[in-house]
Amino acid sequence: MLIGVPKEIKNHEYRVGLTPSSVREMCAHGHKVMVETNAGEGIGCADEDYIKAGAEIVGAAKDVFDKAEMIIKVKEPQAVEYEQLSEDQLLFTYLHLAPDPAQTKGLVNSGATCIAYETITDNRGGLPLLAPMSEVAGRMSIQVGATALQKAHGGRGMLLGGVPGVQPAKVVVIGGGVVGTNAAHMAMGLGADVTVLDRSLSRIAYLDDVFGPRMKTQYATVDATEELVFDADLVVGAVLVPGAAAPKLIRRNQLSSMKKGSVIVDVAIDQGGCFETSKATTHADPTYIVDDVVHYCVANMPGAVARTSTFALNNATLPFALALADKGWKQACADDPHLLAGLNVQGGRVTYKAVADDLGYDFADPAGLIAA
């Protein structure tokens, strides 16, 4: 199979779909790989590194989209990219379709087969291709939140961990999954007062077992969420409904009850955000203020630490990418129900139910497409 890797074009996105070592693995399986020139410069990998790994370097993204049978990216395709896709191509990348009707329509119109990293599952019910970026985003949420709390950035002027004789900042993490756990871990490491909200009693028990009394946990009722958020200095939104739009947990009329200069970091922004006032921002202009509350809603947070993120992501994506290239998407999905769960769009049909429900498309059962 001819595999193409274009350079990412989203604002301040420095990651790349394949590292040189992943290219070498693809070539060892008998596949050909073309990489757009300078695609790896953001992670410190030059064209020469890709050439040594066996790739062909091409001068423009158009060469990749014109020729490649499978295109491997990191972020969802931008309009100029999905307009170049054709029905005989396979796209393998993050998609986050539920909050993005324009992209969904573009992919449906292209006729391409589109497999999303974020909805591929594992035998434990996890999301293995989302997990590494969730780990990065969770840890980053505390870094960026601590910065946003500084007075010069619009925050309350608080040091996250306080100092002897001065109370630390109160950090509330909504959601105790991979993002929330990593956020809490980092916040506690910096000395903050940390509370995690979740609706899974088993997850709450797990967090208590792992972190002990250093972390506070609470069941996420509406009352508990309001009480904790209104008293927080930093709130991290870490709620995920796989493939679907994130639920809105804090409404616009509730912001005025939060502390002036408090900070919201909405890690769920890729799925539309879990605060009603959230809107996607970029690394170039990451924050804005509503009712004296600082909002950080960058939609590709891990792109800021591109090298770490790319290598972590490739560790997870490479086995699935090899299966798709070795077998073709139909056989690979037939052999692996977890990979089949990643099929979001195929041949002009929406094949992921949460996306179809959220955006008003007829749902095409992916198992039926495989059988046909």
Provide the annotated active-site residues.
Answer: 96, 270
CB 79 within 8 A of CB 101: no
CA–CA separation, 220 and 9 (whole Å): 38
Q: What is the 3-state secondary structure (H, E, C) of the chain?
A: CEEEECCCCCCCCCCCCCCHHHHHHHHHCCCEEEEECCCCHHHCCCHHHHHHHCCEEECCHHHHHHHCCEEECCCCCCHHHHCCCCCCCEEEECCCCCCCHHHHHHHHHHCCEEEEHHHCCCCCCCCCCCHHHHHHHHHHHHHHHHHHCCHHHCCCCCCCCCECCECCCEEEEECCCHHHHHHHHHHHHCCCEEEEEECCHHHHHHHHHHHHHHCEEEECCHHHHHHHHHCCCEEEECCCCCCCCCCCCECHHHHHHCCCCCEEEEHHHHHCCCECCCCCEECCECEEEECCEEEECECCHHHHHHHHHHHHHHHHHHHHHHHHHHHCHHHHHHHCHHHHCCEEEECCEECCHHHHHHHCCCECCHHHHHHC
The pair of structure tokens assigned to 262 is 């408090």
CB 323, CB 336: distance < 8 Å: yes
Distance CA 58, CA 180 (A): 40
Question: How many angstroms separate the CA atoms of 272 and 10, rounded?
Answer: 17
**Contacts (Cβ under 8 Å, ≥6 apart) of 223:** none
